[in-house]
Amino acid sequence: MIDIKFLRENPEAVKQNIKNKFQDEKLPLVDEVIELDKLNRSYILEGDELRASRNKLSKQIGALMGQGKREEAEAVKAQVTANANRLAELEKLEAECSEKIKNIMMKIPNIIDPSVPIGKDDSENVEITRYGEPKVPDFEIPYHTDILEALDGIDLDSARRVAGNGFYYLTGDIARLHSAVLTYARDFMIDRGFTYCIPPFMIRSNVVTGVMSFAEMDAMMYKIEGEDLYLIGTSEHSMIGRYIDQILPEAQLPLTLTSYSPCFRKEKGAHGIEERGIYRIHQFEKQEMIVICRPEDSMMWFDKLWQNTVDLFRTLDIPVRTLECCSGDLADLKVKSLDVEAWSPRQKKYFEVGSCSNLGDAQARRLRIRIKGEGKTYLPHTLNNTVVAPPRMLIAFIENNLNEDGSVNIPEVLRPYMGGKTKIEK
């Protein structure tokens, strides 16, 4: 959510930003907000004038009563009563108008960074850098669930009977590998100075609307029936929500946190749920990184965050590349975003395994998170990035470490988390 003062003073810039995101249907919202804002400010001005006159009229009543001018005093009293009634009416109108403005402002996309390439959708994202040499072995690589089933590591049929498509049982050494990757990722981030957290896995609606757009909420979140609670789609939601309605001392910045959680997603839309795959699923686990910082430091932290993911994947000998997300591929709250993609030897292409986002002050504004500095209070910037999200990253892992006999090599850094094993075998 952008600052209404910025919108008021720069309506054309806001409209151009909407056009750059290919959301022209939202253009009328800018003028609608401007008109509502004018109306609201007129309510506030009139209310302020009535409050200012209240003391003056009260003094007049006292003076007139002292002079024995009862009739005139009663007339002024009637005016005070009328003003009080009008003031109550104005306060109601102001509250209603402010709510309308807030609801519309939450639909207007955040101002993207000037460095973001303009493009309609993810097909126009721009490759930045590749790390590691992508290789294709001279033997055929089966589909990832076939590899996992051959290792007795996954049971999709039972999961489908129990919960439907988009769920899975991981078993044996594959389940252990899944946990090992998460534990290794946790320790990797702790070694980089991040504080480890385990947050609530459910959040209230005011936190949901504070951390994401209405469109994302509808496409992602599972609602707990009969309660004001939602299952989180990522731990970023509850980690940022932790600071709702708080004023933090500037000395605490930056807050650098890494959090573990299960994640739950509807996965509505064009991508859908695969019947036999574990790329898009309703339930998974993830290690996340979150930063809350001064506005002038956010781009520096943005680069640090995505580099952490690249470095972690390289320690696992998985080739990766980074993609700059174009304007049309940015969610409404994002200022800038970069995807990390891992190499798939089977598909002979890269696929997304993590996403790094700078949300500017949008989440802080929605959640009313403020920083108290020297002589001023301001909104911080918030950032988030995926460290690892198995089982999706397991696809890249098993394909890049697969041997011709169907066994999977375990990189040296993971062996302490796998009881010293060097391979997963049939």
Task: Give the integer Cα–Cα distance in Å for 408 and 359.
Answer: 38
pLDDT of 267 above 80: no
Q: How far apart are CA 234 and CA 339, in angstroms?
A: 16
pLDDT class for 273, splitting at 50, 70, 90?
low
Per DSSP, helices labelled H in 281-419 are 298-315, 362-367, 392-400
Q: What is the mean pLDDT of the chain?
A: 92
What is the structure's pLDDT at 381?
98
Distance of alpha carbon 2 from alpha carbon 8, whole angstroms: 11
How sure is the predictor about 78, in pLDDT bands with cuts at 50, 70 and 90?
confident
CA distance 129 to 341: 11
The residue count of the chain comes to 426
> What integer is the mean pLDDT of 275-303?
92
Helix axes 27-66, 70-105, angle to 10 degrees: 160
Domains of the chain from N-terminus onward: 4-105 (1.10.287.40), 122-424 (3.30.930.10)
Tell me what the mean pLDDT of segment 276-295 comes to: 92
Helix (H, G, I), strand (E, B) or coil at 94: helix
Share of the chain above pLDDT 90, in %: 81
Task: Give the model confidence (pLDDT) of 344-357 as tens digits.
Answer: 999 999 999 999 99
Question: Quick one: pLDDT band at residue 65, thresholds 50, 70, 90?
Answer: low
Calculate mean pLDDT across residues 262-274: 73
Mean pLDDT lowest among 81-90, 106-115, 281-290, 317-326: 81-90
pLDDT (average), residues 143-150: 94
Nearest to 181 by CA among 396, 402, 405, 404: 396
pLDDT score for 269: 56
Provide the pLDDT for residue 52: 80
Taking residues 411-422, what's their average pLDDT? 96
pLDDT at 275: 62
Q: What is the 3-state secondary structure (H, E, C) of 242-308?
A: CCCCCEEEHHHCCEEEEEEEEEECCCCCCCCCCCCCCCCCCEEEEEEEEEEECHHHHHHHHHHHHHH
Q: For residue 375, what pLDDT is reported?
A: 86
Distance of CA 69 to the CA centre of its chain: 66
pLDDT of residue 63: 66
In whole angstroms, what is the distance from residue 270 CA to residue 345 CA? 25
- DSSP string for residues in 103-129: HHHTTSPPPPPTTSPP-SSGGG-EEEE
Q: Enter the tokens of residue 266.
A: 């509807």
pLDDT of residue 404: 95
**Cα separation, 139 vs 404, whole angstroms:** 6
Q: Is the predicted pLDDT of residue 118 greater than 90, yes or no?
A: yes
pLDDT tens for 208-243 read 999 988 778 878 899 999 999 999 999 999 999 999
pLDDT band at residue 45 using 50, 70 and 90 as cut-offs: very high
The region of weakest confidence among 16-25, 33-42, 61-70, 162-171 is 61-70
The closest of 151, 25, 30, 81 to 403, measured between CA atoms, is 151
The most distant pair of C-alpha atoms in the chain lies apart, rounded to whole Å, by 108
Mean pLDDT (whole number) for 369-398 = 94
Of 426, 369, 385, nearest to 402 by C-alpha is 426
CA 333 vs CA 13, 211, 215, 245, 396: distances in Å: 16, 8, 11, 19, 29
Residue type (1 letter), 374 = E
pLDDT digits (tens, 9 = 90+) for 310-348: 999 999 999 999 999 999 999 999 999 999 999 999 999
Q: Are 271 and 280 in contact (CB under 8 A)?
A: yes
Whether a cis peptide bond, with omega within 30° of 0, leads into 254 is yes
* Residues whose CB is less than 8 angstroms from the CB of residue 357 and which lie 6 or more positions away in sequence, other chains included: 331, 334, 336, 337, 383, 384, 385
State the pLDDT confidence band at 274, using cuts at 50, 70 and 90.
Answer: low
